[in-house]
Structure formats: C-alpha cells, structure tokens
Amino acid sequence: MATTDTMRQDAYPTRVSDTPELLERTEPVVRGGVDDGPLGQDALEAFDRDGYLVLPEVFSADEVAAIRARLDELSADPTVRADERTITELESEEVRSIFEIHKSDPRFAKLSADPRVADVARQLLGSDVYIHQSRINVKPGFVGKGFWWHSDFETWHAEDGMPRMRCLSASITLTDNYPHNGPLMVVPGSHRTFITTVGQTPEDHYKASLKKQEVGTPDHDSLTELIVGQDREIRQLTGKAGSVVFFDCNIMHASSENQTPFPRSNVFLVYNSVENTLDEPFAASKRRPEFAAATSFEPVPRS
C-alpha cells in the first residue's frame, strides 16, 4: 500500500503525545574514521562517548579580536538591530542572537568554511556538509539571559523537518568562558537518548522560542530521569576565547544567565550532512524561516 505523508517514517515522534518518553537513539554518532579528517582515534571516541568535544584555542587572539570587532559593529548597527534575523532579549532591547551571519557577512562565510572547523564536521558526520543555521549568541554582561535545557535536534526535527541526527554544532568562543558568566552546560552521553516533548507547536513558534523556549523543552521528570536516573553529570564547558566546542545535535544542553561584567559571546555554526536534508516538519504546520532553517543545501566548499 502506498505510504502517505501521515504514514511517513518518524524515528523520533515528538510533540504528538501528552506523555513524554525517553527513546533510544537509532543511529550512529560518529560516521567517519581517522582517515577522514583531522581528529585522531581518541578524539573520535570521546565525541562518540560524550556527544561533544572541546578543541582549545583553535583561533588566535588576533582572529578572535577581528571577529569580536565585527560582532560589536553588527550589534550596534540599527539596520542589523531592525532585521528579523536579530533576536533581542525578552526583558530588554539587548541583542540576544544574530542569525544567518554566514550569509550576511563575508567574514562569517569564510569562518563557516574554515578547515579547522568544517573538516572536523565532515569527519564526524561522514559526508559533505552544509550550514543548516548560523548565529552569534551575544550574552552581554549583566543582562545576557540563558537558554533552558533542550536538544537542538528536537526543534530541528519537529519544526524544520530534519530527518535524522546527522548534524552537529560548532561553537567558537569569542570571549573567555568562565563558570560564572553563563558557559555552555552539557550532559555528557545524553545524545544517545531522545526525550519526546509534549505540547503542540504554536504558529510562528520561533518568534517566542528564540527568545525563551518552552514548547519543545523536556519536562522536569524526564530531565531527572536522564541525569539522575541514568547516573549522568552536568559539565560546564569553560575555556579560553578561540576554542571550538563541537556538540552533537541531540546532546542535552543549556546555559545560565550572565550576572557578571564579562560577556559570553559565541559563534554557532550548525553543520548538517548533505545526506540529511530537510523534509517537511515532523510536528509543525510549516517550516521556520530560511534564517533559522536553511533550504539551500549547497555543500560548504572544501579548501
């Protein structure tokens, strides 16, 4: 019998039931080997086990300074601030995120193709890659708010139509990340469990979720089962500016607000495998705008 859209295979059914579940990941984490890129066996095994990998000080202080200077220019530019791709904080007019920077700015386009980042993404995903989403998270001192616990893949699957977990983020730290200024927190190993969430996706959900996500985030009992029940830990990814944190699309992560004078700014580049291009959303009436979910799947050029 011919399958219809409603019968499309969905390995990760989320936002469809009123009871959350913890499902096993049904696919590999690392798809390439030591001959497919710069990472050695230990690094590949660490990413496979933990769902993330920190490469310290990949970019020089001068390179970071140039990117930060550009970030400061963009954040102050009234045209950028008025752009729908710029998200401000819920309680202030402070810039929270600037999306699609790999398309709007040549420096970030070059950064997204930098072999120090893109070659690692290709190796881990075992294929050519394209940019699903890019953004800068500014998290300025004192007023930068946090990001509640979530799996990126849950949103990218439900709202953007991303079929499988063959996708990762590379976070380039533009400022030193301390324990106290809202660094990325991850639950190592959580990438192998998919927590389904309850609650239907509202129309134009991204307008609220990019400021403060609620629908699509795991409930407290599921988070407790994931962390306490599965005997996992919460790890703060601190480190010097210029480091790169690669993290799997399904790892459970969050970050706290920043109550210090020290900004915590990162560039996020989301690499999706060209074998995992977007389908129709799995749990939303329509896909999010292009700046949140690219539908041009050109591979990032190799250098």
User: Which residue type does 128 have?
Assistant: D
Determine if 248 is a binding residue for Fe ion (CB under 5 A): no
CB of 39 to Fe ion, least distance (A): 22
Q: Which of 89, 152, 154, 248 is close enough to bind ligand 6CS by CB under 6 A?
A: 152
CA 5-279-101 angle, 5° bins: 155
Site map (CB under 5 A) of Fe ion, residues 151-170, x = contact: -x------------------
Q: Are 18 and 219 spatial neighbours (Cβ–Cβ below 8 Å)?
A: no
| Phi and psi angles of residue 54, each rounded to the nearest 5 degrees, phi first | -105, 125
Distance CA 217, CA 208 (A): 13
Report the DSSP beta bridge partners of residue 23. Answer: 194
**How many other β-carbons are positioned within 10 Å of the β-carbon of residue 205?**
20
Q: Which of 14, 151, 155, 171 is close enough to bind ligand 6CS by CB under 6 A?
A: 155
Which does residue 118 touch among ligand 6CS, Fe ion, none (CB within 5 to 8 A, set by kind)? none
Scanning residues 181 to 240, which ones bind ligand 6CS (CB under 6 A)? 209, 213
Rg (CA), the chain: 18
Determine if 292 is a binding residue for ligand 6CS (CB under 6 A): yes
Q: Which of 147, 246, 247, 291 is close enough to bind ligand 6CS by CB under 6 A?
A: 147
Closer CB to ligand 6CS, residue 70 or residue 96?
96
Closer CB to Fe ion, residue 25 or residue 135?
135
Determine if 100 is a binding residue for Fe ion (CB under 5 A): no
Dihedral sign for Cα atoms in the order 236, 136, 158, 273: negative
Which does residue 155 touch among ligand 6CS, Fe ion, none (CB within 5 to 8 A, set by kind)? ligand 6CS
Look-up of token digits 């988070």: 223
Site for Fe ion, rule CB under 5 A: 152
